Amino acid sequence: MGTEICIFNPTTNLIDVITGAATGPGAPGTPVVLNSSGTLDTSFLPEVGISATAGEDLGLNAVLVNLYYAGGILKCQRAYAASGGIAPSGATYPVLAQGFVNTPVSSGQSASVLFSGTFLYSDLHSEFSISDVGVEVYLSQNYKGEVTKTIPSGAGQAQQSIGYVLEYASGIVTVVYIPLGGASGGALNFSQISGVAQINQGGTSQTTAQAAVAALGAAYGTLLTKPLPDTNYALTTTESENGVFIFTGALTADRTISFPATARSSFVLLNSTTGGHNLPVKTSAGGSMVSLILSPGQPMIAYCDGTNVLVVPQPQVSFSANYTGVTGTLGPVTMFTPGLSGVYRLSYYEEVTTAGPSGTQAPFGYGFFGMGTYNGDEALQTQVSWTDDVGPRTAIPVSTPLDTTSANYDQGDIVIRTVAGQAVAFTTALAATGPSGPAYSIFMRAEKL
């Protein structure tokens, strides 16, 4: 017999017998028993959302919605990343996701639009599998209201990160909703802002970075967009009192930014100059000492101790990307350009999704393969390039040669020391293939330690 708990109910003046963890919602005065994890069941927690009238049919495969007003009534429509065409609201696509629904709703009916939590997505296109748990997903450019693993890349298409896959079972994908806004608006999440991270995966353009950083103005104070001359520049006292700094202008070399030697709390920096040059940052009291290096397109949250401008530490993923259906070599792909020197862990997982034909055995005494014997025309290897205190480390193999004549896989990681302002990149090397070569997928992550 299972455990039974007897609790006096002051509302009914009776003894309630509880045989297991309580779930909600319940009647007023009903006693609650914690679950096996020692926590309150989530069914007792209120959902954060709003009611809106569906402007079109919404289903389990079309769960991401965009809100709009029509005739004084709050309505919702399917979010869509594609470019062109007219939404029910009259807006031109793309329209970004601002929430989700967990229950199918017909057009004209009331829908409960939620802004946080998890949602279930019915994968009618067989895109996902159990191996995708933890993978980042994006607003789809092919199907309205749906998610995809592939970042939209067409002209005018929105690039909005939606969240991560939590679970997968029999074609039903559970997604944790953590939306990142694109350049055209939408919900914004700034958890990825650091000295090494892009504002959002795939949204690496200056327009996207500027829009997101500018949105921080409400939290950090006023915004200063400063066109720089092609020379070193010292901020005035008035200029330095802003909370968000976006530096623009065309540069032909690295140019130093100097702040007054005044201690102050955190502020945001973004290098939006053209020419591909860094902005070393220091204070007037620091002499020639550079506190940090601001790389192009890399936002930082920093503070000043009166002598140096320092980065607010925010360890996190610096780069995360998935490449599927690859049939040739890949890269070099720049993973990130650190604003500060440091130690990073680079992790990879590569898998052969379509095996290639067997070829002639060939010695691996050339190129990236090292020594030994292998199928010389059917082998895959991942390489990483970075720069440490000694100098460039170019095309360093981090995986063993992978036989692509069958459904093999390889995984691993490498810890590197990289200096500020120098890109970290990876490539895949695939030996020469026949007319029907292999296809493979590779999943890359970079973390600051």
Residue among 231, 229, 271 at smallest CA distance from 247: 271
Domain count, the chain: 4
Q: The whole model's pTM is what?
A: 0.38
pLDDT tens series, the chain, 449 aa: 455 667 677 777 777 776 666 665 666 666 677 766 566 665 555 556 678 899 999 876 778 998 888 887 888 999 999 988 999 988 889 888 888 888 888 899 988 888 777 888 888 889 999 888 888 899 999 999 999 999 888 888 888 888 888 888 888 888 888 755 433 333 343 333 333 333 333 333 333 444 444 444 444 457 788 899 999 999 998 888 888 888 888 999 999 999 888 877 678 888 888 888 888 888 888 666 666 788 777 677 788 888 888 876 554 545 667 777 888 788 788 877 776 677 888 888 888 888 877 653 333 333 333 323 344 445 788 888 899 999 998 878 877 777 888 888 888 888 899 887 788 888 888 764 445 678 888 888 887 77
Whether residue 41 is found in the same domain as residue 53 = no
Whether residue 235 is found in the same domain as residue 256 = yes
**Which residues face 283 on adjacent strands?**
259
Residue 379 falls within a domain, yes or no? yes
Whether residue 158 is found in the same domain as residue 233 = no
Whether residue 89 is found in the same domain as residue 167 = yes
Residue 53 falls within a domain, yes or no? yes
Q: Which domain holds residue 20?
A: 1-45
Q: Among 296, 311, 326, give the residue marking a domain's end.
A: 311
Whether residue 305 is found in the same domain as residue 357 = no
Both tokens of 372, joined, read: 């030994």
Both tokens of 294, joined, read: 């601001």
CA 302 to CA 202: how far, in whole Å? 24
Phi, psi angles (nearest 5°) of residue 221 = 110, -160
Whether residue 26 is found in the same domain as residue 58 = no
Residue 194 falls within a domain, yes or no? no
Whether residue 39 is found in the same domain as residue 124 = no
Q: Is 384 within 8 Å of 306 (Cβ atoms)?
A: no
Residue 85 falls within a domain, yes or no? yes
Q: What is the CA radius of gyration of the chain?
A: 26
At position 397, the amino acid (one-letter code) is: P
Whether residue 10 is found in the same domain as residue 71 = no
Residue 186 falls within a domain, yes or no? no
CA 55 to CA 109: how far, in whole Å? 8
